[in-house]
């Protein structure tokens, strides 16, 4: 069975989005720069240039694109327009949320909405078979860590300071200390890719 892998691009000061997030300013001020390693935000005017990047970044990208299911929260999927119902290659998508979703979500057969992290990741793993499950978002990270259902964490550490915005690790119940061990470190253009196993 595959692993559940939290995947996030994060600034050196721990933010996954900059300050002043709005629907028109999706990742907040300077937030697009966090995704420059995959080609997004390459242009100075913030224009989106998607596509497989070269070198190490491309290898990392390939790893993400071979995942067999996606688990994400509202804060991730809504600014991304629900990926028009397909994150990549038609793999099943599980959206973790406690709030009501718009009716239009029902039009997308790949999307399942539920409110329990253990169930979301369990069903995603089942659907993914031998492939990994891609876990996205701050809320999902906290819920999956607390529920003990996260196997790995992959961070794309981007060497900028955003100063304010949305923090990756926040609001996690720390009754127990969460501890990881390094599985892989790779240096790409504009990001250090750190992969950790969750120890406890």
Q: Is 43 in the site for a copy of itself (CB under 8 A)?
A: no
* Choice between 114 and 172, CB closer to a copy of itself: 172
- The reply to whether 25 sits near a copy of itself by the rule CB under 8 A is no
Give the closest residue to 10 by CA, choosing from 125, 145, 130, 160. Answer: 160
Q: How far is it, in rounded angstroms, from Cα 183 to Cα 61?
A: 17
Residue number, 70 or 191, with CB nearest to a copy of itself: 191
185 binds a copy of itself (CB under 8 A): yes
Judged by CB under 8 A, which stretch of 90-98, 117-125, 128-136, 186-194 contacts a copy of itself? 186-194
For residues 154-183, which are near a copy of itself according to CB under 8 A?
Answer: 155, 157, 159-164, 167-170, 172, 174, 177-182
Rounded CA-CA distance 56/102 in Å is: 38
Say whether residue 55 binds a copy of itself (CB under 8 A).
Answer: no
Q: How far is the C-alpha of 113 from the C-alpha of 71, rounded, in Å?
A: 10
Among residues 113 and 160, whose Cβ is nearest to a copy of itself? 160
Residues that bind a copy of itself (rule: CB under 8 A) add up to a total of 31
Least Cβ distance, residue 154 to a copy of itself (angstroms): 12
Question: CB–CB of 87/105 below 8 Å?
Answer: no
Question: Following DSSP, what letter does each residue of 50-67 receive, concatenated?
Answer: -SPPSHHHHHHHHHHHT-
Angle between helices 138-147 and 117-128 in degrees, nearest 10: 90
Nearest to 72 by CA among 24, 133, 145, 11: 133
C-alpha dist (Å) from residue 86 to 94, 107, 109, 195: 11, 12, 9, 25
Q: Is residue 194 a contact point for a copy of itself (CB under 8 A)?
A: yes
Site of interaction with a copy of itself (CB under 8 A): 12-14, 30, 33, 145, 155, 157, 159-164, 167-170, 172, 174, 177-182, 185, 187, 192, 194, 196
């Amino acid at each position: 069975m595959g692993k559940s892998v939290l995947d996030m691009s994060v600034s050196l000061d721990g933010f996954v989005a900059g300050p002043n997030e709005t629907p028109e300013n999706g990742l907040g001020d300077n937030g697009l720069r966090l995704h420059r390693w995959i080609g997004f935000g390459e242009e100075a005017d913030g224009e989106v240039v998607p596509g497989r990047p070269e070198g190490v970044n491309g290898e990392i990208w390939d790893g993400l694109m071979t995942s067999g299911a996606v688990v994400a929260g509202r804060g991730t999927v809504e600014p991304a327009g629900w990926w028009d119902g397909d994150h990549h290659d038609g793999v099943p998508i599980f959206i973790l949320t406690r709030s009501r979703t718009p009716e239009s979500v029902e039009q997308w057969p790949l999307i399942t909405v539920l409110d329990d992290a253990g169930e979301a990741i369990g069903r995603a793993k089942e659907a993914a078979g031998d492939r990994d499950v891609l876990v996205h978002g701050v809320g999902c990270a906290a819920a999956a860590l607390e529920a003990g259902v996260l196997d790995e964490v992959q961070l794309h550490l981007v060497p900028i300071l955003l100063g304010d915005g949305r923090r990756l690790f926040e609001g996690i119940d720390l009754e127990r200390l969460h501890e990881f061990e390094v599985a892989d470190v790779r240096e790409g253009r504009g990001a250090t890719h750190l992969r950790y196993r969750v120890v406890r």
